[in-house]
Amino acid sequence: MENLKPNPSLVDFQNYVRELEIERGFSHQDVISKCLLLGEEVGELFKSIRKSTKMSIDPQSNTSTPAQELADIIIMICSIANRLDIDLESAFRKKEEINKNRKWTIDI
């Protein structure tokens, strides 16, 4: 498998994840399985943030860094998008056009 090129686009990430899933034997997993795995990765991110901010966690639990967990989340998001044939870059741009026209308020 080729390395991810420097300064990759979202399409590059999606293509890279597609190839790594084939190489690592995950390409058979369905979208529901990937969504459940995404939920687990988000939980692992929360635990790693708790640890990095010195909040108490189970000393027996294994945690990675927030950066590693965020990378896992990106992989899962690309995997889900690939299974649904969604071009993330296009989806992001379209959603941002909608968001630009929304009125945003911040509750303090």
| pLDDT of res. 59 | 77
Which residue stretches of 5-108 are H helix?
A: 10-24, 31-52, 66-83, 88-100
pLDDT at position 66, please? 96
- The answer to whether residue 58 is domain-embedded is yes
Count the domains in the chain.
1
Residues of the chain with pLDDT under 70: none
Domain membership of residue 22 (yes or no) is yes
From CA 105, how far away is CA 68, in angstroms rounded? 32
pLDDT of res. 104: 85
CATH number at residue 68: 1.10.287.1080
Say if 2 falls within a structural domain. no
What's residue 60's pLDDT? Answer: 76
Q: Is residue 105 part of a domain?
A: no
pTM passes above 0.85: yes
Is residue 32 assigned to a domain?
Answer: yes
Q: Is residue 3 part of a domain?
A: no
Domain enclosing residue 24, as ranges: 10-100
How far is residue 97 from each of residues 13, 66, 78, 84, 85, measured CA to CA in Å? 22, 30, 21, 22, 21
